[in-house]
Structure 1
Amino acid sequence: MTTETRPTSGVSRTAVIIAQARATEHAREDRLFSDPYAQAFVDAVGWIQVAEAGRLNQGHFVLRTRFFDDYFRTAAAAGVRQAVLVAAGLDTRAFRLEWPSGFRLFEIDLPGLLAFKEAVLGVHRARPACDRTTVRADLRDDWPSALLSAGFDPERPTAWLIEGLMMYLTHAENDRLLHAIGTLSAPGSHLALEHINQAYTELPELRAVHSRLRRVGADWRSTVEDPCGWLAGHGWTATTTPQSTLATTHNRPVPPLTDPTRVGPARMWLTTATRTP
């Protein structure tokens, strides 16, 4: 593996930081999910020191992972047999979740990051539990054509996931992304995403984070105040789930930077939606 394929800069660097949180959770006896490959990604790059906000948010990354795991389980139980991970990063759900027979999963991301991912998974002889296809594409380019060329069927209901991405795109770019997804989504499709509001970006604990993100070329470029209303305008019926609800469900502390008693109106939205008929 060359240094050019290692995700040590930009948004790709954050994928390693999230893998660190998943690896730490996997090591717990009372873990909320299993991810036997997360540590391998971290080992291939080296542990990345995070700011205090990153440590405060580790619980959020864990709850978020379990939340989106359960989202896919719900979609599959509803009969969906096709999924797309938009900016998949070091996601290993194709390998670590139980999928119904015949399930197809597509992972879209930059060629360099996917090359690194495939190299690490290859060393560990990882085998997906579904029909997995990687799509090397930049979301600023014509990724729908690349997805269709890879075998994606727009006539079948799809479970889409946009995890840890939207804050790095401008509002216009996010609107274009949602428009493209909507065009490719048959009735019965599902969508899950994470985003933030403006108050979250202004938390004092995030000042060091913003400085570090600027240095690696991964500034936050957008926020949303009403994710359900925004998605309704794109043809989706959505709901948000507070981290406090997830924490109670899974008997975990509320992550400090998502605790309304501490951060007031600041929000990291966890949102799921279905395609409006």
Structure 2
Amino acid sequence: MELAGPSRTALATAYARAYHQVANEPRVFTDLLAGRILGVTDAELTALHTAGPDHPGHAGASHRPRRLFIAARARFAEDAVRDAVATGVRQAVILGAGLDTFACRNPYPDLRVFEVDHPDTQNWKRERLATAGITAPDTLTFAPVDFETETLATGLAAAGFDRTAPAIFVWLGVVVYLTPTAIDTTLAYIAAQATPTDLVFDYGTPPATPADHTALRARAARVAALGEPWLTSFTPADIATKLRHFGFTHIDDHPAQNLITTYTSLLDVTFPGPHLIRARR
């Protein structure tokens, strides 16, 4: 099998979600489409722990702490969508969706899901869905945005997104790769949405200890070698200040390590750096 796609990190994330479904570990997050969209069987996924580093799924599937973080991140986000729907929100925007399958598993018949990504990435995803025999539901709207030539605002407007209605924005695995200016531009757009507006995202933090520094440098070097360098990190205090500046008043911040422990009861998994936030205005 050969998968061609625009992003090795997006593929690694997809493989991590898929391998979590068959791994011998506490199930944090269930996604029955994760393997299908990649076109891999359970046996092929199970074999990934012996795959070499050149395999596109090796980094996602073989590293247990990262895999559990990705599963915890997905669960945290989908729980937030569930809670938003319970309050009456009927629009969800997934920024940088990659091969995420929530929109195809969407259990809420009146929730419209907008997936925002680069046109090439979305064409790749559409091909994967077609090959896997996964039907995109009527509640899914693709919103291709080439940020070199257009804005998030124009892309979502063209897709029929309603700026006057409440929404939840899910922004996973993206912030660390953006410049501070790009982050602020996106936050300003989200903050101008009709209230209530929910936002779920993850971000990286500066290393707190020498051991964290070593681990984070190694991870940063791996993704930089793939042409996707980390550009921005925040302390929890700094990101809270930024969110309050944009009008978010309810800020719920969780270190990834704590979420992994909460969801799995595993005490031997160490994954410093990422935090997950749910904010509301």
TM-score in terms of structure 2 length: 0.83
* Residue 128 (structure 1) shift: 4.3
Name the residue aligned to 2:135.
Answer: 127
Mapped to 2, the partners of 1:47 and 1:216 lie a distance apart of: 11
What does residue range 134-153 of structure 1 map to in structure 2 within 5 Å?
134-140=142-148, 141-153=150-162
* Residue 239 (structure 1) shift: 1.4
Name the residue aligned to 1:6.
Answer: 4
Q: 2:89 is matched with which residue: 67, 80, 90?
A: 80
* Residue 244 (structure 1) shift: 4.5
Mark the CA change 1:77 to 1:210 in structure 2 (over 3 Å): closer, same or farther: same
| Residue 233 in structure 1 maps to residue 241 in structure 2 | no
What does residue range 257-272 of structure 1 map to in structure 2 within 5 Å?
257-258=271-272, 267-272=273-278
Mapped to 1, the partners of 2:279 and 2:110 lie a distance apart of: 23
CA offsets 1:57-104 (integer angstroms, 9 cap, x no match): 2211111111111011111111100010111111110112411x3211
Mapped to 2, the partners of 1:162 and 1:133 lie a distance apart of: 16
Mark the CA change 1:46 to 1:164 in structure 2 (over 3 Å): closer, same or farther: same
CA RMSD of aligned residues (A): 2.7
* Residue 215 (structure 1) shift: 2.4
| Residue 31 in structure 1 maps to residue 27 in structure 2 | yes
* Residue 52 (structure 1) shift: 11
Mapped to 2, the partners of 1:192 and 1:124 lie a distance apart of: 29
Name the residue aligned to 1:160.
Answer: 169
Verify the 8 A CA contact 2:16 2:57 in the aligned structure 1: no
* Residue 245 (structure 1) shift: 4.1
Verify the 8 A CA contact 1:87 1:108 in the aligned structure 2: yes
Name the residue aligned to 2:50.
Answer: none
CA offsets 1:152-200 (integer angstroms, 9 cap, x no match): 00011000011000000011110111112222x1011111110011227
Percent sequence identity over matched residues? 29
TM-score in terms of structure 1 length: 0.84
Verify the 8 A CA contact 2:28 2:264 in the aligned structure 1: no
Mapped to 2, the partners of 1:41 and 1:176 lie a distance apart of: 32
Verify the 8 A CA contact 1:178 1:234 in the aligned structure 2: yes
Mapped to 1, the partners of 2:32 and 2:195 lie a distance apart of: 35
Mapped to 1, the partners of 2:261 and 2:223 lie a distance apart of: 31
Verify the 8 A CA contact 2:143 2:159 in the aligned structure 1: yes
Q: 2:207 is matched with which residue: 194, 199, 202?
A: 199
Amino acid across the alignment from 1:240 = D
Mark the CA change 1:244 to 1:210 in structure 2 (over 3 Å): closer, same or farther: closer
Any gaps of 5 or more consecutive residues in structure 2?
A: 41-53
CA offsets 1:206-255 (integer angstroms, 9 cap, x no match): 33332232222211111111222221111112111233543344234254
Mark the CA change 1:75 to 1:20 in structure 2 (over 3 Å): closer, same or farther: same
Mapped to 2, the partners of 1:243 and 1:211 lie a distance apart of: 20
Higher relative contact order, structure no. (Cα contacts within 8 Å, ≥ 6 residues apart):
1
| Residue 208 in structure 1 maps to residue 204 in structure 2 | no
Mark the CA change 1:53 to 1:34 in structure 2 (over 3 Å): closer, same or farther: closer
